[in-house]
Amino acid sequence: MPEGDTVFRSARALNGAMAGQVLEVCDIRVPAFATVDLSGETVDEVVSVGKHLLHRIGDSTIHSHLKMEGSWHLYRPGTRWRRPAHQARAVLATKDWVAVGFSLGKLEVLPRATEDDVVGYLGPDLLGPSWDAGEALLRLDADPARPIGLALLDQRIMAGLGNVYRAELCVLRGVLPTRPVGEVADHAGLIALAHRVILANRDRNERTTTGDTRPGRMTWVYGRAGKPCLRCGTRIQSGSLGDNPLAERVTFYCPHCQS
């Protein structure tokens, strides 16, 4: 699933291409919204809120979430798409650009005044203009018995972190993802680190948490099960963690560097 930095870059690119432009084509390929036609309306802006994308167009908002496979592409009119047309869930075109949303996990059109119905539950957005570390701290501290690896993925605490950052933050702080929040030292420092790391990757196409962009060395533990830890050489382990079996996600950790 794309992390908040990926969604932020998508929103920035879409906003740069489409903000202030009049929609000439609005093709929503989801049955519930297939009759919606915003052509003739002006795109006011495209913004990200955590992992959510909001196209604000007139009095309406097109809300999308990439989930695991989704992505938004920008093309010049007449340019061949890089993904199959049957995967397109939304096609929005202006005179100069065509924005195509492929395999979007969530796509809906709602009145702009009701955006809070879909993003109002989110915690402070790590890459948002009103990032609030103090509020994130209050939300993190609210459930000290919860495993830290679950808390870091909870978008109600901080919006924007995904599985990559969950694994990397835990190893950087030297804690197993299963360790209860209440047993993790310096929550404020953890939140500051989360903000610093995702902010450092906001403008990068190749995400790195090690500072090294060479293949195989961009992460400390994520995706490296069975490989030696870049710090101590111990084999990286993997497991799963979730609030329930249907929500489990793979975890990666170093059994020597984390406890």
Contact assessment for residue 136 and residue 158, using Cβ atoms and an 8 Å cutoff: yes
Return the pLDDT at 146.
97
Choose one of 95, 119, 143: the last residue of a domain.
119
Residue 46 domain-assigned (yes or no): yes
- The reply to whether 115 and 137 lie within a common domain is no
> CA dihedral defined by 93, 94, 98, 99, rounded to 10 degrees?
-70
Q: What is the 3-state secondary structure (H, E, C) of 149-166?
A: HHHHHCCCCCECCCHHHH
- The reply to whether 26 and 114 lie within a common domain is yes
Kindly calculate the radius of gyration of the chain based on its CA atoms and give it in whole angstroms: 20
Choose one of 119, 147, 173: the last residue of a domain.
119
Q: Report how many domains make up the chain.
A: 2
Strands 60-65 and 106-111: antiparallel
Residue 128 domain-assigned (yes or no): no
Number of CB atoms found within 10 A of residue 240's CB: 10
Contact assessment for residue 132 and residue 9, using Cβ atoms and an 8 Å cutoff: no
- The reply to whether 44 and 68 lie within a common domain is yes
Return the pLDDT at 1.
62
The domain that holds 69 is classified in CATH as 3.20.190.10
Contact assessment for residue 143 and residue 109, using Cβ atoms and an 8 Å cutoff: no
Tens of each residue's pLDDT in the chain, 259 residues: 689 999 999 999 999 999 999 999 999 999 999 999 999 999 999 999 999 999 999 999 999 999 989 999 999 999 999 999 999 999 999 999 999 999 999 999 999 999 999 999 999 999 999 999 999 999 999 999 999 999 999 999 999 999 999 999 999 999 999 999 999 999 999 999 999 999 999 999 899 999 999 999 999 999 999 999 999 999 999 999 988 876 789 999 999 999 9
Active-site annotation, residues: 2-3, 51
Q: How far apart are CA 195 and CA 45, in angstroms?
A: 24
- The reply to whether 25 and 104 lie within a common domain is yes
Return the pLDDT at 205.
87
The parent domain of residue 70 ranges over 4-119
Q: How far apart are CA 222 and CA 218, in angstroms?
A: 9
- The reply to whether 145 and 115 lie within a common domain is no
